[in-house]
Amino acid sequence: MNSSELRALYIHTRNLMEHQHLCCLLADHRAMLAALDSADQEWLLTQWVPETVSRTCYTHYAVLPALEPAHRLHTDPVVHDLRRRLSVALFENPDQAVRWLQTA
């Protein structure tokens, strides 16, 4: 997926969250073939997340990290930055992630 497709997907996700009044997001990155490039990561952290938090009730973010450590977006600095705006938890098991979100 190229940068414009990725950003369109995230914008579509925000629109869906806004329209459906969704406050939680589960991101399954287990099949990621590569980490996001730094420009897309920066866009997510400085534009998409703040705009989504301000336009929706977005409060909880559960993540199933990429299986390959080199492909993981959620390094400690990224998680730290996200936690300034959201409750964030990383899971290896999708059922655990869903249960955590259901209690949010």
2-15 pLDDT, tens digit each: 999 999 999 999 99
Range(s) of the domain holding residue 35:
3-102
Mean pLDDT of the 84-89 span: 96
pLDDT given at position 60: 98
pLDDT at 85 exceeding the cut of 90:
yes
Determine if the pTM surpasses 0.85.
yes
| % pLDDT > 90, the chain | 72
Judged by average pLDDT, the poorest of 17-26, 42-51, 74-83 is: 74-83
Q: Are 5 and 36 in contact (CB under 8 A)?
A: no
pLDDT given at position 34: 80
Provide the pLDDT confidence category of residue 44 given band limits of 50, 70 and 90.
very high
Closest CA to 66 of 27, 37, 100: 27
Helices (H), the chain: 3-20, 38-43, 49-55, 76-82, 94-102
Q: How many domains does the chain have?
A: 1
Q: Pick the residue with more confidence: 72 or 65?
A: 65
